[in-house]
Structure 1
């Protein structure tokens, strides 16, 4: 049985990722600062900013999946968000390398493009936004994600460890679909995230594939659903909220995502299968 350590397994996304690996016959350890409401596997209370504790919890693992972080900008003082997110990721990859772990998947974010938490009205340079779009954050959260991706590249260069950074869209656990009727007809809502979303179960399968596939080196991949979270065609969304963005690089005549997931599909053989329209009545 393969052993994977998942950090942050008690959070919003964590239970889906833990369950995904359990369903595929992994031994799973949840490295967390808090115990989950409903335990799915053994939890080891761990301070990920303490390198010694990270060595301890990763010992014997075949792979590590790093979810734990302060998940948004401005919920904590800027320096706290930056230090926590950067040092936890550094410690995970540093310890994994020296313990001989050859596969890691870490959590990046669409926030790294800078639009999500911009206080200056940053707009996308083109849509759908792909992984080549400039990363222009002004907040410490988005900046921490860029640093973490660079840390992954540095560790790969010196060790050859495969490290995949998943740039997640807005994670939606199944229970959160009940909130959709409150915003799906208002283009002004959720515009900073380009109306993106990803079901937690689809995100979970991407993490599993990221540590099962070989030959990826380092890669940063957008993980979003194929559609937007709105009952408004994508072209109308852009015309309403970002009329000056005229560089359109893919079809947006229906409800297509405005954050491209094509690279993840190609490299991982992944595809999302859970969509909000299957859970929400449009009546």
Structure 2
């Protein structure tokens, strides 16, 4: 049985990722600064900004999935966010590479493109936004994600370790969170900053597992989003309302398609999101 260390497993996305790996036959160790509400595997409390502790928790692992971070801009002082997120990622990858671990997956973010937390009114240069779109963050959180992706390249160059960076969109982490959808799905002014994207935590978890199981990915960078937007308004109408100046559409938009492209993840990982907000709302 292969062992995977999952950092940040006690957070919003972590439980779904842990469950996905356990159900797929992996031995899982959760590493976090707090215990999970509903533990399903062993947890070690550690400070990953300490390199020695990163080494300690990774001994004997076959792969590492790094979720741990301050999860958004402005919830902590900007320097604290930057220092925590970059140092924890550096330490995990540095330790993993030096320990001979061959696979790592780190958590990047759609905020890397700069629109999510923009205070200057940044707009997308084209849609759907793919991984080649310029990264123009105005905040230390988005900047930390750029640094982390560069760190992944550095570690890969030195050790050959495969490091996949998943640019995760708005996570819907439990079925009950879909109860919020009817309150915003008909208002184009809601959720503009995230381009109305979302991803079910269970679908994201599958992407993490596939990123560990696939070979020869080097330092792939992949957007992870649902196939459709989180709105009950067609995507072209959303763009006309919120971003009328954006006219460069790289894919046909005929319905409710996502504006955060997941095409590359589908091609490279053979991944396909399963969960659709319309189906989940009906269940509630």
So what's the TM-score if we normalise by structure 2? Answer: 0.98
Query: Matched residue of 1:218: which SS?
Result: coil
- State the shift of 1:68 in Å: 0.5
Query: Matched residue of 1:65: which SS?
Result: strand
What is the RMSD computed on CA atoms of the aligned residues?
A: 0.8
Which structure 1 residue ranges, 5 or more long, are not aligned?
none
Query: Matched residue of 2:187: which SS?
Result: coil
Asked if structure 1 preserves the Cα contact closer than 8 Å seen for 2:98 and 2:159, the reply is no
CA distance in 1 between counterparts of 2:23 and 2:187 reads 38
CA distance in 1 between counterparts of 2:6 and 2:54 reads 12
Query: Matched residue of 1:280: which SS?
Result: helix
CA distance in 1 between counterparts of 2:207 and 2:280 reads 21
Query: Matched residue of 2:164: which SS?
Result: strand
Q: Partner of 2:61 in structure 1?
A: 61
Q: Partner of 1:15 in structure 2?
A: 15
Q: Partner of 1:159 in structure 2?
A: 159
Aligned length: 282
Which structure 2 residue ranges, 5 or more long, are not aligned?
none
1:211 maps onto 2:212 in alignment: yes
Q: Partner of 1:24 in structure 2?
A: 24
Q: Partner of 1:107 in structure 2?
A: 107
| Segments ≥4 residues shifted beyond 4 Å | none
- State the shift of 1:229 in Å: 0.2
- State the shift of 1:153 in Å: 0.4
- State the shift of 1:89 in Å: 0.1
Q: Partner of 1:136 in structure 2?
A: 136
Query: Matched residue of 2:221: which SS?
Result: strand
- State the shift of 1:90 in Å: 0.1
Q: Partner of 2:232 in structure 1?
A: 231
1:70 maps onto 2:74 in alignment: no
1:1-283 to structure 2, matched below 5 A, reads 1-173=1-173, 174-281=175-282
- State the shift of 1:281 in Å: 4.1
Query: Matched residue of 1:44: which SS?
Result: strand
CA distance in 1 between counterparts of 2:98 and 2:169 reads 31
CA distance in 1 between counterparts of 2:36 and 2:224 reads 25
So what's the TM-score if we normalise by structure 1? Answer: 0.99
Q: Deviations over 1:31-67 (max 9, x none)?
A: 0000000001000001010111111100000000000
- State the shift of 1:251 in Å: 1.6
Query: Matched residue of 1:104: which SS?
Result: strand
CA distance in 1 between counterparts of 2:230 and 2:142 reads 22
- State the shift of 1:185 in Å: 0.5
CA distance in 1 between counterparts of 2:176 and 2:212 reads 27
- State the shift of 1:111 in Å: 0.1
